[in-house]
Structure 1
Amino acid sequence: MAEDLIQVAEEIQSTTEIKEIPIDKPLQDFHHHLSYNERIIFSAKFGDGKTYFLNKFFEVHKDEFEAIRIFPVNYQVADNKDVFELIKKDILIHLLANDLIEDEDFFDESIYAQNYLFNNGADIVFDILSDVPAVKVPAKIIQKSLKHLKKYKNGKVDSAESKRVQIENYLLKFEEDKGVAEYDVISELITRIIKSIQDKGKKKKVVLIIDDLDRIDPAHLFRILNVLTAHIDRDIILQKEIEDGVGNNKFNFDHIITVFDIENAKNIFSHLYGLKTDFPGYISKFISGKPFEYSLQNILMDYVFENLSERYGIDKNILKITKIREAIRKASVRDKIKLISGIEKEIVNCIIEEKETKFSSVNKFTCFLVLLKRLDLRIIDVFDDLLKVNKFCLFNLIGVNLYLGSDIVIGNDVIGIAVRLGSNNSNWSKITIKRHNSIVEDIEFLEDVGDIDISVLRSEVKLITNKLIAYVKL
């Protein structure tokens, strides 16, 4: 969806000079939010441009953050218990693909031992215990122990190979095995690599982004959330890591961002566990603050309102009346952007003469009529809502076209509008008339009009609109 914005903007750039929908304010807000939250839920509805937003954010702040992004949508075929292994696999693939791993020795003695025992523990126990009950000669036990010690030393040499090779061998397991149990050595390795990036990047922060969680099976969604909150995923914590300041997040990431629609997750949670379950309490474990809620829809709506107001002089209060706002909201991204382009081209450009006054047919009220036409609305459809805004806004919107009214008298600095249909009595208000040479460009009300019968307003607006429709191209 977000990519469509740029494509559409490029298509209409020659007429509207739109290059990109601005998201500067949300980018600033998210940077502030990220600065004091370690675990973040980035909440946005499907199609709201969250991927575009995050790409833009980490592009702008590439010197401050190293973003590692994974997409669990591919985990659909995996068993729930294997999800964490797949997360580790994707993290490693990203680290390899972006040359974030240097060939250094990340393993210490305990890691070598753990690796050896993980792969050979059963053989060690079987070899030693098989002889203890039957043979009383300690020499055989010592002999077999020495044999395993030799294997261990050889294994240590093997483990000292390039960690890139170790990682590639680990990844090959996914090609050979249908399911792999959590491998603590690899978890340890990822943690140390992340720490290395942080140290060598002059305290550059490393961020894990788990995107498109809306697309995965609900059981996987909650499994991933549970896994990410369990930072201690091994039995032994190295004292050196504690001294070096290992953080509170999985694998020592500075920030973990999970991307999904919080409201959708709430509905799924209630469906799975019942309406009375405490979703806020449950979800609070996975974030260090409130979810960051982002909506491209709202940004785009504000952008449309701002541009229509600036380009064509239509008051934002009028643009935001219920029927107009909802019609704009329902429009596609492409149609939303097109709303603000080329309105004046759909008006027959000429000079209108009325009551010895000349004004252009291209003005804010005729532009408003074109906007209604594009939204498949008529003036009669929004008249009541226009009155709810206030009559002051309505008359300023009609502007120079008030010269077309029948129960309206316009002087140099005042305007009179009949209090009732056919009445000679009028309510008078002060106005400013803007002229360019002999052409009246606009009429602005300096004060609200008095108490005027709604039937008068409806009649005048209908009359003026019917006269102007001839200038709006079909």
Structure 2
Amino acid sequence: MVVAEFSRLGMSKEYIKNVLEKFDDHLNIDHNNRIIFSGRFGIGKSYFLNKFFEDESYKQKYFPIFLNPINYSIASNEDIFELLKFDILFQILSKDVIKFENLKFSKGNLLHQYFSNKFLEDFVSTTDLIGENIMEEQTSGSFGLLKNLGKLIGKISEVSVKDFENFKDQIQKNPELQAINEFLEQQQNKLGSFYENNTITQLIYDLIKNIENITTKKTVLIIDDLDRIDPEHIFRILNVFSAHVREEENKFGIEKVVLVCDLKNIKNIYHHFYGEHVDFFGYINKFYSIEPYEYSNKDYALKFKSEYYSEKYIDWENIRLLGFLFSDAIAKNFITARQLFNMDFSKKSVTDYYENFFRDRSIAVFEGARVSNFNEHRETYALLATTIYYFGSSTNFSKYVNQADFEVLLFEFEKSFVDIFSFLDFKQPKNDNNIYKTNYDFNYRFDSMGIELIPNSREIKKSDIKKVLLDAIKQYDNIIFN
């Protein structure tokens, strides 16, 4: 098992490392050459895959080729596969990997002459098909692509005409062989057909094998956002890649093909397109080798509770509450993979931020008035400040609170909740044993031991828990310190 390197992320690398290793293990299952990478929209699938293949450990194992068919949305269904091929070719030529002096083209099917006479014609015509916007995106600032394209054309021009002429003479002298050749040539030049093997297709195959020989890496084709394109294009791409599997070899000889989508969306689109009673499982299972890979932020959340409830901070309830909130928010995608990769969510880092916010808060200003002795509420202030920092904003935290289920909150974090309510009511003068009304469906009694909620806090409605938290967020936003 490869261990990913995340030195810049400190302790949070532990959360991320496990998820990367899980995907790497899936990629390396024997005969797992076609993978559906499924996860709901907005969960960070593309971001995760980019980070996975950028990581130094996995960069040594894989040669990724990323395609985004959403760029081809203006193309006709017949053009889609051609655009995919040229997108692959552009990406290969953009990376300075190919050793052109050692490049050998496949022999035996008139390919040499076809390269010599037809390559530029095919290349230019399909370049027109791609359109100016995609060309600009692929070639912008890429001198390497143009340089490698020149080398490739130069290599093609070196093909021996004599070898081809000898082969052609043998075919033409035998009418049966000539008839067979004409049929095969006709099928191979049908764009996107089952037997399609035209110039660019064979060229990509040769380049892929050249890359694998030079780098010893596994080539991986990632087709992103599959469920965000026209339905006809979705099923065109799926059918082309499934139909070209021969003896477990993918199209173009690429070792692994990863289709990125929300499989539930594909299922809905399929039934809308073909009918509610048409068997989706029987259709989709030929597009993956083993089983779909379900990407979920829950994988990041697995370690949170065990770490935040352990050792040094077991009696510090607010730290455990932060662990609960972050774990729950990550699992529900309110904290994204992008945030996890770029912020340190380890208990040590979170506790450091909490302690920084917990420093002396003697005098606060709220709604233009000075509030003395605010220190008794600094635990709650630090809790809110730390939470909002990691959520990115008060708005993001409020969105999470509105949709979260806080049934567990009062059972495990009763003291923290009481303190949050007390923070809301810090301007209210209090006398021992008095019962005070609130804007919620509960009241409270104050005495020398603190606040007691009435009814018992465990009987408070979940709707009131949300109201208290949302009001506390608003109040936090209006507090400043001198």
**Matches of 1:84 and 1:471, distance apart in 2:** 53
Deviation at 1:377, TM superposition (A): 9.7
C-alpha distance in 1 between matches for 2:297 and 2:80:
30
Confirm whether residue 67 of structure 1 aligns to residue 19 of structure 2: no
Task: Tell me, yes or no, if the aligned pair for 1:198 and 1:206 is still in contact at 8 Å.
Answer: yes
- 1:291 maps to 2:292: yes
Of residues 365-374 and 205-214 in structure 1, the stretch that sits farther from structure 2 once superposed is: 365-374
Instruction: Provide closer, same or farther for how the CA distance between residues 223 and 303 of structure 1 changes in structure 2, counting only shifts above 3 A.
Output: farther
Post-superposition offset of 1:331: 11
Contact 1:321–1:386 (CA<8 Å) still a contact in 2? no
Q: Deviations over 1:308-330 (max 9, x none)?
A: 999952425863899x9999939
One-letter amino acid of the counterpart of residue 57, structure 1: F
Q: Encode CA deviations 1:323-357: one digit per residue, 9 max, x unaligned.
A: x99999399988x9899768965997139xxxxxx
The alignment-based identity, stated in percent, is 30
Q: Which amino acid aligns with 2:270?
A: F
Which residue identity is paired with 2:279? D
What is the number of residues matched between the two proteins?
Answer: 351
- Identify if the C-alpha distance between structure 1 residues 405 and 206 changes in structure 2 by more than 3 Å, giving closer, same or farther: farther
2:218 paired with 1:205: yes
How far did residue 33 of structure 1 move?
Answer: 1.0
Q: Distance in 2 between matches of 1:81 and 1:199?
A: 33
Task: Give the distance between the partners of 1:54 and 1:43, measured in 2 at CA.
Answer: 12
Q: CA deviation at 1:167?
A: 5.0
Please list every run of 5 or more consecutive structure 1 residues that lacks an aligned counterpart in the other structure. 1-12, 116-155, 234-245, 352-357, 409-420, 429-442, 444-451
Structure 1 contact 92–167 (Cα < 8 Å) conserved? no
Q: How far apart, CA to CA, are the structure 1 residues paired with 2:323 and 2:65?
A: 43
TM-score (structure 2 length as normaliser): 0.55
Q: Residue in 2 aligned with 1:223?
A: 236
Q: Which of 414, 420, 424 lines up with 1:394 in the alignment?
A: 414
What is the alpha-carbon distance in structure 2 between the residues aligned to residue 470 and residue 178 of structure 1? 53
Distance change (3 Å), C-alpha of 1:251 and 1:171: same
Query: Which residue number in structure 1 is paired with residue 263 of structure 2?
Result: 262
Match of residue 455 from structure 1: 455
Instruction: For 1:277, give the aligned amino acid.
Output: V
Partner-residue secondary structure (3-state), 1:275: coil
Q: Structure 2: any 5+ residue segments left out of the alignment?
A: 1-7, 132-188, 364-372, 424-429, 435-443
Contact 1:92 1:190 in 2 (8 A): yes
1:111-146 CA-partner distances (Å, limit 9, x unpaired) = 22xx5xxxxxxxxxxxxxxxxxxxxxxxxxxxxxxx
Equivalent-residue separation in structure 2 for 1:88 and 1:249 (angstroms):
14
Structure showing greater radius of gyration is 1
Q: Are 1:97 and 2:88 counterparts? A: no
Tell me by how many angstroms 1:205 deviates.
Answer: 0.8
Report if aligned partners of 1:304, 1:337 keep a CA contact under 8 Å in 2. no
TM-aligned CA deviation for residue 299 of structure 1: 4.7
Q: Counterpart of 2:60 in 1: which secondary structure?
A: coil
Q: What amino acid does structure 2 have at the position aligned with 1:88?
A: K
Cα separation, 2, equivalents of 1:220 and 1:268: 12
Note if contact 1:40-1:291 (Cα within 8 Å) is conserved in structure 2. yes
What is the letter of the counterpart of residue 124 of structure 2?
L
Aligned-residue CA RMSD (Å): 5.8
> What are the residue-to-residue correspondences of 1:179-258 with 2, within 5 Å?
181-182=190-191, 184-186=197-199, 187-202=201-216, 204-231=217-244, 247-258=248-259
> Contact between 2:209 and 2:253, CA under 8 Å: does it hold in 1?
yes
CA contact (8 A) 2:308 2:320 kept: no
Letter in 2 for 1:217: D
Q: Are residues 281 and 305 of structure 1, via their aligned partners in 2, closer, same or farther at CA, if it must alter by over 3 Å?
A: same
- Please state how far the C-alpha of 1:217 moved relative to its aligned partner: 0.7
Of 12, 23, 40, the match for 2:16? 23
TM-score (norm: length of structure 1): 0.56
